[in-house]
């Protein structure tokens, strides 16, 4: 396995526990994205659907009842620890039309031209080789089949993602990489025209692009910070490698104070409403 992909996989194996703890909150926050994605993909009864980078089960869990028992959902992900979450949902929801498998989107071990629809929610940005992954997805689709993906929009539209990295930059010893395709990060596909160019280059046509505005809501800035604090020191440790525990403990209250200042700009009637924007893009083979 390519070293960059192995690193992404390791990151998600490690991230999985944290992801699962925040899963309900994330699901609530991003619900409109799943709805747009399934609509653009043309999900309906009786089709064969391949959910790529399904993580702990989105959009697989919403797609399975729509596809029904006359169809089939295959959900795949690179990280076993993320798939374990999907497996729990398959068992709890008795989703008998779902099969799960661990595989990366750059090497899909599925029969060519065997799926009507491939959705991928917030997964493509982590591919070190996006065109290879798109080529594999295209091969998996029947002629006229549809691929639909959700990615995060440009940084300026996503304070939800940019506030903390901006605060931490002054404590970093090395500048973080610029988000662009091939550099795995949530915002890698968010630049103007990036998703359109990638889909067109990969051979998809009849593109449909939809921007989906979102709001990450919390009771108040203080409740958000209290929530962040639970795993804050671990986040600082991850983002600021090489810092000693004593240094991190000293940085922590300064980060909290900066966070409070930044977040106060997004308070409406006492509640925190942090804007975000996703792009849903779909195309045909
Ligand atoms: C942000 S999560 C999204 C999970 C899920 N689709 C959702 O929207 O909740 C990103 C997922 O992409 C997976 N992933 C990253 N790189 C991948 C790759 N090259 N092939 C397949 N899955 C990958 C990760 O393991 C992780 O589960």
pLDDT tens column, 157-174: 999 999 999 999 888 887
Q: What is the pLDDT of residues 54-86, one digit of tens each?
A: 999 999 999 999 999 999 999 999 999 999 999
Residue with tokens 């006492």: 270
Give dist(CA 27, CA 270) in Å, integer: 23
55: Cβ below 6 Å to ligand 1?
yes
Residue 206: pLDDT over 90 = yes
Establish if 271 belongs to a structural domain.
Answer: no
Establish if 161 belongs to a structural domain.
Answer: no
Residue whose C-alpha is closest to residue 134's, from 201, 74, 184, 188: 201
Q: Are 199 and 207 in contact (CB under 8 A)?
A: yes
Give dist(CA 241, CA 247) in Å, integer: 11
Residue whose C-alpha is closest to residue 115's, from 75, 147, 142, 82: 142
Considering the chain, what is the average pLDDT of its residues? 95
Q: What is the pLDDT of residues 114-130, one digit of tens each?
A: 999 999 999 999 999 99
Establish if 55 belongs to a structural domain.
Answer: yes
Report the nearest atom of ligand 1 relative to the CA of 16: 27
Phi-psi region of 235 (alpha: psi -120 to 50; beta: other; left: phi over 0): alpha
Average pLDDT of the residues in 265-283? 96
Cβ neighbours around 258 below 10 Å, total: 16
Phi first, then psi, for residue 263 (nearest 5°) are: -70, -25
From 29, 33, 55, give the residue whose CB has the most ligand 1 atoms within 8 Å, as the site to mutate: 55
Q: What is the DSSP string of 148-176?
A: EEEEE--GGG-HHHHHHHHHHHTT-SSPP
Establish if 231 belongs to a structural domain.
Answer: no
Phi first, then psi, for residue 87 (nearest 5°) are: -60, -40
Give dist(CA 86, CA 98) in Å, integer: 10
Helix or strand (DSSP H, E) at 137 = helix 130-140
Instruction: Please report the pLDDT score of residue 182 as a whole number.
Output: 84
Residue with tokens 């399975």: 64
Report the nearest atom of ligand 1 relative to the CA of 120: 6
Average pLDDT of the residues in 230-255? 92
Residue 105: pLDDT over 90 = yes
Q: How far is the CA of 279 from the centre of ligand 1 (A)?
A: 16
Q: How far is the CA of 82 from the centre of ligand 1 (A)?
A: 8
Angstrom CA distances, 188 to 9, 67, 124, 210, 251, stand at 17, 31, 9, 18, 28
Residue 91: pLDDT over 90 = yes
> Checking DSSP bridges between strand 141-152 and strand 267-268, what pairing results, if any?
unpaired
Average pLDDT of the residues in 252-263? 95
190: Cβ below 6 Å to ligand 1?
no
Q: Residue 124 has which token pair?
A: 């493509």
Cβ neighbours around 146 below 10 Å, total: 24
Establish if 86 belongs to a structural domain.
Answer: yes
Residue 208: pLDDT over 80 = yes
123: Cβ below 6 Å to ligand 1?
yes
Collapsing DSSP to helix, strand or coil, 193 comes out as coil
Establish if 235 belongs to a structural domain.
Answer: no
Q: How far is the CA of 57 from the centre of ligand 1 (A)?
A: 10
Q: Residue 174 has which token pair?
A: 């090395």
Establish if 220 belongs to a structural domain.
Answer: no
Residue closest by Cα to atom 8 of ligand 1: 121
Instruction: Please report the pLDDT score of residue 75 as a whole number.
Output: 98
Q: Residue 195 has which token pair?
A: 């998703």
Average pLDDT of the residues in 247-253? 94
104: Cβ below 6 Å to ligand 1?
yes
**Total domains in the fold of the chain:** 1
Helix or strand (DSSP H, E) at 199 = helix 194-201
Q: Give me the CATH number covering residue 39.
A: 3.40.50.150
Residue 55 sits in which domain range? 3-153+181-215+277-284
Instruction: Please report the pLDDT score of residue 170 as a whole number.
Output: 86
Residue 256: pLDDT over 80 = yes
Residue 2: pLDDT over 90 = no
Q: What is the pLDDT of residues 7-45, one digit of tens each?
A: 999 999 999 998 998 899 999 999 999 999 999 999 999
Q: Quick one: DSSP state of residue 276?
A: E
């Amino acid at each position: 396995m390519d070293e960059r992909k192995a690193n992404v996989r390791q990151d998600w194996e490690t991230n999985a526990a944290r992801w699962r703890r925040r899963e309900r909150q994330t699901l609530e926050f991003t619900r409109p994205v799943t709805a747009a994605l399934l609509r653009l993909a043309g999900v309906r009864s009786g089709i064969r659907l391949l959910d790529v980078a399904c993580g702990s089960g989105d959009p697989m869990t919403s797609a399975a009842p729509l596809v029904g028992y006359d169809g089939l959902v295959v959900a795949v992900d690179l990280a076993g620890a993320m798939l374990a979450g999907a497996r729990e949902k398959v068992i709890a929801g008795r989703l008998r039309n779902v099969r799960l498998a661990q595989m990366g989107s750059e090497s899909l071990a599925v029969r060519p031209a065997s799926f009507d629809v491939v959705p991928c929610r917030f997964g493509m940005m982590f591919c070190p080789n996006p065109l290879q992954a798109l080529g594999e997805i295209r091969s998996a689709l029947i002629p006229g089949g549809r691929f639909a993906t959700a990615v995060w929009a440009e940084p300026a539209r996503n304070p939800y993602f940019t506030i903390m990295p901006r605060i931490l930059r002054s404590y970093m010893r090395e500048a973080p990489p610029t988000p662009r395709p091939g550099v795995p990060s949530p915002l890698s596909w968010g630049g103007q025209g990036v998703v359109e160019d990638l889909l067109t280059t990969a051979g998809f046509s009849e593109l449909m692009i939809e921007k989906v505005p979102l709001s990450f809501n919390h009771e108040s800035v203080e409740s958000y910070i209290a929530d962040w604090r639970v795993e804050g020191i671990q986040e600082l440790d991850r983002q600021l490698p090489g810092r000693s525990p004593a240094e991190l403990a000293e940085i922590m209250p300064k980060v909290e104070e900066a966070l409070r200042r930044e977040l106060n700009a997004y308070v409406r009637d006492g509640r925190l409403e942090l804007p975000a924007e996703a792009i849903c893009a779909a195309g045909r083979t």
